Amino acid sequence: MRAALVALALATGTAACGNEKAEADKKAAEAAKASKEADEKAAAAKKTADEEMAKAKAAHAEVRTKLQKDLDAHERKTTYLKEKAAKATGDVKKNADAAVAELDKRRDAAKASIAKLSDDSATTWDAAKKGAEDDIAAVGKAVDALETAVNKK
């Protein structure tokens, strides 16, 4: 009888151990599945963020290119007007020289503003863009002032 009780106790203990192991395995599998789902969500979020960053960089590059083209157009006109100003005499030369000095100052400010736009991650990129646009507009006005000064007779 003792042997039967010992055998019964061992059988019950082994069965209980098996249930606990099965339950632990189930919990581990659920945890692994949840972890995998979290990793997939994180990867999808990173991919979306990377795509948005790439779009922003492309848009920023497009703006920089446009602003540089605008400045280059002013530069071409400036070269012609500076040559014309060099040939001027008297009051026209004096006014043209003042206009050239102002234009050079404005052009340097515009170049510095465009250089600030090279940092795509800057939180102040929109403000830098606005500053560059304003500086390039000022260069345009300075070119117009030089043209007026050179063409006065």
* Helix, strand, or coil (residue 88): coil
Q: Determine the pLDDT at residue 121.
A: 66
Q: Which domain holds residue 11?
A: 2-151
Q: Which residues contact 148 (CB under 8 A, 6 or more apart)?
A: 99
Q: First vs last Cα of the chain: how many Å apart?
A: 132
Q: Determine the pLDDT at residue 5.
A: 43
Specify the pTM: 0.68
pLDDT in tens, the chain (153 residues): 444 444 444 444 444 556 788 888 888 888 888 888 888 888 888 888 888 888 888 888 899 999 999 999 999 999 999 998 888 888 888 999 999 999 999 999 999 999 888 876 667 888 889 999 999 999 999 999 999 998 876
Provide the number of structural domains found in the chain. Answer: 1
